[in-house]
Amino acid sequence: MDLLKSAERAARAAAGFLREVSPPRPEGWTTKGTNDFVTQIDRQAEAIIRESLLADTPEAHLVGEELSPDLVSDGLVWIIDPLDGTTNFLHNYPACAVSIAAALNGVLQAGVVLRLAPETCCSAARGAGAWRDGKPLRVSEIVDPAHALIGTGFPFKHPEHLPQYLEQFARITPATSGIRRAGSAALDLADVAAGRFDGFWELRLAPWDIAAGVLLVREAGGVVTDLAGNPRNLDHGPVVAGNPAIHRWLLEIIDD
């Protein structure tokens, strides 16, 4: 719980900064890869988080897209995305979040996903549960795919995965009540934990995209795996999440 308090404090400090600044014009964007941007604002938010977390846990390692892409598994590790949904932020599209998770020797201990607007804080602690603004979270109880709302993420950074993704999309779409893509995996997983989404899948995500969200879903009674049904570890790869029934169905239809 001390780690959770540190994560919440750092997330709120970064979110306060992000709400006060205006998105830069395109000439201020740095392209890291296909459709993948970063700005000085991301870096400043990350510096705020780094300072806050190291003040509480000076012995910790910090991992993030701009900090260090190599995940450390020994000791206490903070896994940080200072602005999940950067492209949304740059276009004033309100689906952005600060995501912070703590892992101890490779096991997730605490996680926070703080949505910027409207402000909502989803948090989880290992073995203690998940909450949104202090109220307990539970995954949905929908078991019929025809009634399910599914979240997803397009392979916009990895267009080589598009043929595989489009085959999956074509099978899932007519079998459900709808598919949504907002552009922030952290928020998508938080919505699974809250029961807003009944399931979610994406073909490639990084540790900082999912670490906090994975813990949220699991502590809310859900399941998070790779495409083969193995528990999702803190590495780069695919994610399938949902309540137990819809997660099982997603694995089956994806592998059809």
Q: Residues 138, 187: contact at Cβ < 8 Å?
A: no
pTM as predicted: 0.93
Question: Are 117 and 154 contained in the same domain?
Answer: no
State the maximum Cα–Cα separation within the chain, in Å, rounded to a whole number. 51
Question: Are 175 and 116 contained in the same domain?
Answer: no
Last residue in a domain, options 136, 154, 175: 136
What pLDDT band is residue 125 in, cutting at 50, 70 and 90? very high
User: What number is the average pLDDT over the span 178-202?
Assistant: 98
Question: Are 78 and 154 contained in the same domain?
Answer: no
Please report the beta strands in 46-176, taking only residues with DSSP state E, as ranges in sequence order.
61-64, 76-84, 97-104, 107-115, 120-125, 129-132, 135-136, 149-152
Q: What are 229's two structure tokens?
A: 């049904």
Q: How many domains does the chain have?
A: 2
Q: Domain of 64: which CATH number? A: 3.30.540.10
pLDDT at 42: 87
* Residues 22-37 pLDDT 10s: 887 776 667 655 545 5
Last residue in a domain, options 88, 111, 136: 136
What domain range includes position 154? 145-254
Question: Are 167 and 42 contained in the same domain?
Answer: no
Question: Are 132 and 150 contained in the same domain?
Answer: no
* Residues 216-230 pLDDT 10s: 999 999 999 999 999
Question: Are 74 and 100 contained in the same domain?
Answer: yes
* Residues 90-100 pLDDT 10s: 999 999 999 99
Evaluate if residue 164 carries a pLDDT over 90.
yes
Question: Are 108 and 181 contained in the same domain?
Answer: no
Question: Are 201 and 80 contained in the same domain?
Answer: no
Instruction: Give the whole-angstrom CA distance, residue 175 versus residue 171.
Output: 7
